[in-house]
């Protein structure tokens, strides 16, 4: 018989602290204050050259704000930003000089066209990783540079395009000072929008990609879709920056587009501090001044930028923002506490009826050359039980879990969860259906806090999308508060509430195992797959883990556990399935499995094998 799901509260019990005060208003005031100070300082600039330098600071800051999302959050290196800069610049040029568009509409169109180009680059290049990704994006930038320099009929070739419509206010083109003011206002608005986006669900998703893509997929994050989003954001800001330069100069040619520009945009983020709030501003301000200084020695620019790039990568990995952070006084960490509770908040009702099987695996096969970790394998799981999948090393246990979660695609056979076929589906889609997992080798997001790890586990259960997060709408804020409250309740449930604010990678190994379990529970799974959860634990920690897993089962969650600790398996399992070389050789209750001759033979061997 299946076990009834015990009712749980939908929010922390009375007495739990309220969500922390929202810092968005304070941050908005700070950014507004900095923008006003910068605008006032620009008003005191001595000449047009100084205003031109300040304007280029805002242009470079626009590029850096988007590039920070791609490099600092998603962890993707691109050397093709000059091509996206060109896409925005030439879009504004063609629409105003040759088609009579309003310069304001042309500026918006530049961002749209650059964003589309960024999506195309991402779709074509994200199958590659590391240096190969950088090479693909470099090829795009080089192709665009050649295109605009040699297609005379459309882009004007080396001569370029003249008569580009400038932004105007009240029928008069913006002055140099007004361009600086416009750039400051646009950068401040872009920063605030991206801050809204990156401080919540989407920001955590992007950071998880940088840490571990497989783990990100297992908690419901669409890895490929998130990477494309990061590329598009970086492309849109670069395209708008390119349009600003073209419209302010009222002229553009291929000299503005070079490989040097791509290196410079990447350097803005790495030198300033990738992933930090101040990094883009520091990089844009300092490197624009360096660029203005080096303008009198053009031949030295490539050498200096290359040297700064190596310096930032190897000697200053946290950038200027990281150096400044060392001198900032540390505030004492406030402990995260919740009222005592036995259950995590908001566990869902079962996603499919209790009458039928929860999971059915039918005649599944998987082979790697001559090795067959799954041979015509079938099994069935029902609601509310703890299942153990055991067998000698190499029996195919982890391969089975990987096939159930989309990491590995079976060669043939069917896998059905709650009546839906999931064989070959992507990991994030399987998680959304209600299958969570942990890994044999820990796959935590080590640089994120324990609380953020668990909140990342709730990604598939949150519905605030891109626009709501970008604009910081009340619905998105409520979802963040609910996710935080539930994550804290889950940490209380697993005994980690006191460690909520610590980096997950700094905890002892046994506690890291619990963080991974808490992250999986946060996804509200109907079926939880555990790949050797007791690996590396001492006997006392193993006993405590067993008690915790029984509590998890009491929530109505079905567990399938791959484990070598037979004491743990036999003490908590309701049903045991035994594999040997990819073949199911036995299944049944624990005490029956212990006496099964085929199981004893698989683990201990026959007398003839022992004699040999």
How many alpha carbons fall within 13 Å on the CB side of residue 61?
Answer: 26
Helical packing angle, 298-314 and 279-294, nearest 10°: 150
Flag the least confident range among 501-505, 592-596, 602-606: 602-606
Identify the band that residue 413 occupies on the pLDDT scale cut at 50, 70 and 90: very high
Number of CB atoms found within 10 A of residue 238's CB = 38
With cut-offs at 50, 70 and 90, classify the pLDDT of residue 341: very low
Residue among 417, 397, 431 nearest 531 (CA): 397
Residue 353's pLDDT is what? 58
Assign 331 a pLDDT band (cuts: 50, 70, 90).
low
% pLDDT > 90, the chain: 61
Q: Under a CB-based contact definition with an 8 Å cutoff, are residues 161 and 252 in contact?
A: yes
Q: How far is CA 272 from each of CA 68, 282, 366, rounded to the nearest angstrom? A: 10, 5, 48
Burial tier of 473 (Cβ tally within 10 Å: 0-12, 13-18, 19+): middle
Question: CA-CA distance, 438 to 238, in Å (whole number)?
Answer: 39
pLDDT at 330 (0 to 100): 61
pLDDT at 452: 95
80 or 301: whose pLDDT is higher? Answer: 80
Q: pTM of the full predicted structure?
A: 0.88
- What average pLDDT does range 505-523 have in this prediction? 94
pLDDT at 13 over 50: no
Q: Which residues are CB-contacts of 128 (< 8 A; sequence separation ≥ 6)? A: 135, 136
What is the pLDDT of the chain when averaged over all its residues?
Answer: 86
- The answer to whether the beta carbons of residues 216 and 90 sit under 8 Å apart is no
CB proximity list for 398: less than 8 A, separation 6 or greater = 440, 531, 562
Tell me: the pLDDT tens digits for 49-96? 999 999 999 999 999 999 999 999 999 988 889 999 999 999 999 999
pLDDT for 601 equals: 84
Q: How crowded is the C-beta side of 29, counted as CA atoms within 13 Å?
A: 4
The answer on pLDDT for 185 being more than 80 is: yes
Give the helix/strand (H/E) hosting 377. Answer: strand 371-381
Q: Is the pLDDT of residue 334 over 60?
A: no
Domains annotated on the chain, with CATH: 29-258 (no CATH), 364-434+527-612 (3.40.50.300), 447-524 (no CATH)
Q: What is the pLDDT of residue 594?
A: 87
Given pLDDT bands bounded at 50, 70 and 90, which one contains residue 605?
low
For 130-150, write each residue's pLDDT tens digit.
Answer: 777 888 888 888 888 888 888
For every residue of 252-299, DSSP letters joined together read E-GGG--HHHHHHHHHHHHHH-TTSSSHHHHHHHHHHHHHHHHTT-HH
Please count the residues of the chain.
612
């Amino acid at each position: 018989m299946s076990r009834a799901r015990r009712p749980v509260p939908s929010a922390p019990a009375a007495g739990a602290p309220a969500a922390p005060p929202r810092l968005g208003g304070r941050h908005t005031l700070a950014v507004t204050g900095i923008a006003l100070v910068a605008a006032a300082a620009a008003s005191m600039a001595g000449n047009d050259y100084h205003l031109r330098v300040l304007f280029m600071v805002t242009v470079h800051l626009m590029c850096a704000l988007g590039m920070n999302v791609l490099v600092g959050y998603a962890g993707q290196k691109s050397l093709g930003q000059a091509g996206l800069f060109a896409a925005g610049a030439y879009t504004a040029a063609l629409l105003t000089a040759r088609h009579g568009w309003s310069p304001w509409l042309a500026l918006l169109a530049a961002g749209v066209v650059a964003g589309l180009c960024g999506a195309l680059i991402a779709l074509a290049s994200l199958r590659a990783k590391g240096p190969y990704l950088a090479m693909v994006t470099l090829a795009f930038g080089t192709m665009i540079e050649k295109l605009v320099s040699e297609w005379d009929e459309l882009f004007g070739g080396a001569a370029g395009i003249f008569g580009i419509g400038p932004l105007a206010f009240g029928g008069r083109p913006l002055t140099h000072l007004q361009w600086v003011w416009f750039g400051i206002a646009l950068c401040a608005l872009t920063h605030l929008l991206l801050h809204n986006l990156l401080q919540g669900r989407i920001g955590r998703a992007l950071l998880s990609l940088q840490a571990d893509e497989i783990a990100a997929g297992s908690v419901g994050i669409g890895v490929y879709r998130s990477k494309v989003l990061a590329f598009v954001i970086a492309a849109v800001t670069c395209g708008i920056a390119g349009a600003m330069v073209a419209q302010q100069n009222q002229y553009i040619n291929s000299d503005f587009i070079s490989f040097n520009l791509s290196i410079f945009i990447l350097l803005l983020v790495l030198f300033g501090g990738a992933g930090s709030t101040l990094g883009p501003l520091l990089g844009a301000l300092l490197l624009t001044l360096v660029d203005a200084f080096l303008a009198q020695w053009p031949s030295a620019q490539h050498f200096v930028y290359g040297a700064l790039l190596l310096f930032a990568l190897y000697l200053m990995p946290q950038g200027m923002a990281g150096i400044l952070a060392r001198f900032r006084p540390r505030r004492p960490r406030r402990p995260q506490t919740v009222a005592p509770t036995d259950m995590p908040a908001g566990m869902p009702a079962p996603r499919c009826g209790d009458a039928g099987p929860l999971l059915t695996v039918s005649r599944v096969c998987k082979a790697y050359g001559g090795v067959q970790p799954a041979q015509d394998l079938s099994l069935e799981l029902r609601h509310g039980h703890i299942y153990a999948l055991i067998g000698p090393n190499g029996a195919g246990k982890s391969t089975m879990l990987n096939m159930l979660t989309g990491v590995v695609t079976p060669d043939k056979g069917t896998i059905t969860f709650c009546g839906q076929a999931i064989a070959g589906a992507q990991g994030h889609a399987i998680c959304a259906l209600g299958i969570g997992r942990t890994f044999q080798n820990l796959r935590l997001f080590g640089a994120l806090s324990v609380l953020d790890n668990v909140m990342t586990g709730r990604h598939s259960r949150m519905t605030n999308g891109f626009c709501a997060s970008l604009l910081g709408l009340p619905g998105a804020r409520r979802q963040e508060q609910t996710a935080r409250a539930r994550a804290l309740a889950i940490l209380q449930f697993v005994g980690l509430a006191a460690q909520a604010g610590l980096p997950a990678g700094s905890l002892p190994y046994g506690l890291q195992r619990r963080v991974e379990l808490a992250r999986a529970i946060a996804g509200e799974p109907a079926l939880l797959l555990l790949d050797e959860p007791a690996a590396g634990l001492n006997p006392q920690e193993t006993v405590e883990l067993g008690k915790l897993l029984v509590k998890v089962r009491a929530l109505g969650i079905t567990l399938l556990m791959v484990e070598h600790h037979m004491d743990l398996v036999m003490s908590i399992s309701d049903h045991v399935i035994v594999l040997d070389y990819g073949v199911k050789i036995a299944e049944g209750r624990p005490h029956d499995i212990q006496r099964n001759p085929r199981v004893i033979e698989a683990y201990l061997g026959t007398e003839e094998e022992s004699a040999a």
